[in-house]
């Protein structure tokens, strides 16, 4: 029997924390191993429990969730992180989104997500696939295309998403994309529609839809935006 996904919850709102823990404990293959009500408690929790995945709110009362993630990643030095980080928050502004990923978040979900989708995000993130809420995916994609800094929560600092990340490169590298699929993925990253790609490659829209479906299946993502984000973070597409 497969080991359950060990999850820690860092959330200052007591009712939200308790409700989330109760809901997750009812899901097969998930075990909540601890919770914390502020950033420093959360940091200690991640270091001691070493969960597979941590669900972290941004708006914590002492240090915010972004700073907590940054400190946790720094504490590991060059060692690979034993814990995936899923941000669960009401903040969907560009500054918060990009600062969270720059600090080391692996996924970003809005708090109005339903439990089925949250479980999907947890499992996807645990397996090493980036999960980005559709409402903010366009922000990440735009920044990754530009590969330029965006102001973080601290206005005196700038952050930048790195193009090449080992876990993502391994995922994409093992996906077995054909040359034509990589070509189509490049055009998706540039914002081309299926019709525009079909016209450029002199094939039918139906053919492109088939290729796109194969790309999504191979990358284990749900839509074109997630495929583009994964390719960009892996360094596959410049």
DSSP letters along 154-190, please? Answer: STT-EE---S--HHHHHHHHTS---HHHHHHHHHHHT
135 in the same domain as 188: no
Choosing from 140, 159, 178, the residue where a domain stops is 159
pLDDT higher than 80, residue 165:
no
CATH code for position 227 = 1.10.10.10
227 in the same domain as 176: yes
**Which residue did the predictor score with more confidence, 160 or 37?**
37
For 92-109, give one letter per residue: b (16+ CB within 10 A) or e: eeebbbbbbbbbbbbbbb
Per-residue pLDDT, 130: 72
Domain encompassing residue 228: 166-234
pLDDT in tens, 17-43: 999 999 999 999 999 999 999 999 999
178 in the same domain as 144: no
What distances in angstroms separate CA 176 from CA 179, 180, 236, 238, one per listed residue? 10, 11, 13, 19
**Which residue did the predictor score with more confidence, 163 or 232?**
232
214 in the same domain as 154: no
Per-residue pLDDT, 174: 65
183 in the same domain as 119: no
| Start-to-end C-alpha separation, the chain | 41
124 in the same domain as 190: no
**Which residue did the predictor score with more confidence, 85 or 223?**
85
Residue 55: phi and psi, rounded to 5, are -95, 120
23 in the same domain as 123: yes
152 in the same domain as 177: no
Mean pLDDT of 114-135: 86
Over the chain, what is the mean pLDDT?
81
Mean pLDDT of 205-210: 89
Strands 158-159 and 150-151, by their bridges, are antiparallel
Give me the number of domains the chain comprises. 2
Give the burial class of 32: count Cβ atoms within 10 A of its Cβ; 0-12 exposed, 13-18 middle, 19 or more buried.
Answer: buried
pLDDT in tens, 175-187: 788 888 888 888 8
123 in the same domain as 105: yes
Mean pLDDT of 154-167: 40
Q: How far apart, in whole angstroms, are the C-alpha atoms of residue 199 and residue 188?
A: 13
194 in the same domain as 108: no
Global pTM reads: 0.66
Q: How far apart, in whole angstroms, are the C-alpha atoms of residue 10 and residue 41?
A: 8
Taking residue 179's Cβ as centre, other Cβ atoms within 10 Å add up to 7
38 in the same domain as 78: yes
């Amino acid at each position: 029997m497969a080991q359950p996904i060990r999850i820690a919850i860092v959330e200052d709102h007591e009712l939200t924390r308790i409700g989330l823990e109760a809901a997750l404990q009812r899901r097969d293959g998930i075990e909540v191993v601890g919770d914390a009500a502020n950033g420093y408690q959360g940091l200690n929790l991640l270091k001691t429990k070493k969960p597979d995945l941590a669900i972290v709110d941004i708006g914590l009362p002492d240090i915010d969730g972004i700073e907590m993630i940054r400190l946790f990643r720094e504490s590991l030095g060059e060692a690979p992180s034993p814990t995936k980080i899923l941000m669960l928050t009401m903040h969907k502004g560009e500054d918060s989104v990009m600062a969270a990923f720059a600090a080391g978040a692996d996924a970003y979900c809005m708090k109005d997500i339903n439990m089925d989708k949250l479980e999907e995000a947890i499992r996807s993130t645990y397996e090493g696939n980036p999960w980005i809420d559709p409402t903010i995916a366009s922000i990440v994609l735009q920044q990754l295309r530009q590969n330029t800094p965006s102001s973080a929560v601290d206005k005196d600092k700038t952050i930048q998403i790195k193009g090449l990340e080992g876990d993502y490169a391994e995922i994409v590298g093992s996906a077995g994309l054909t040359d034509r699929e990589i070509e189509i993925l490049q055009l998706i990253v540039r914002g081309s529609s299926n019709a525009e790609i079909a016209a450029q490659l002199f094939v039918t829209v139906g053919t492109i839809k088939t290729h796109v479906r194969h790309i999504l299946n191979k990358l284990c993502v749900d839509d074109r935006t997630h495929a583009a984000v994964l390719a960009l973070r892996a360094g596959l597409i410049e």
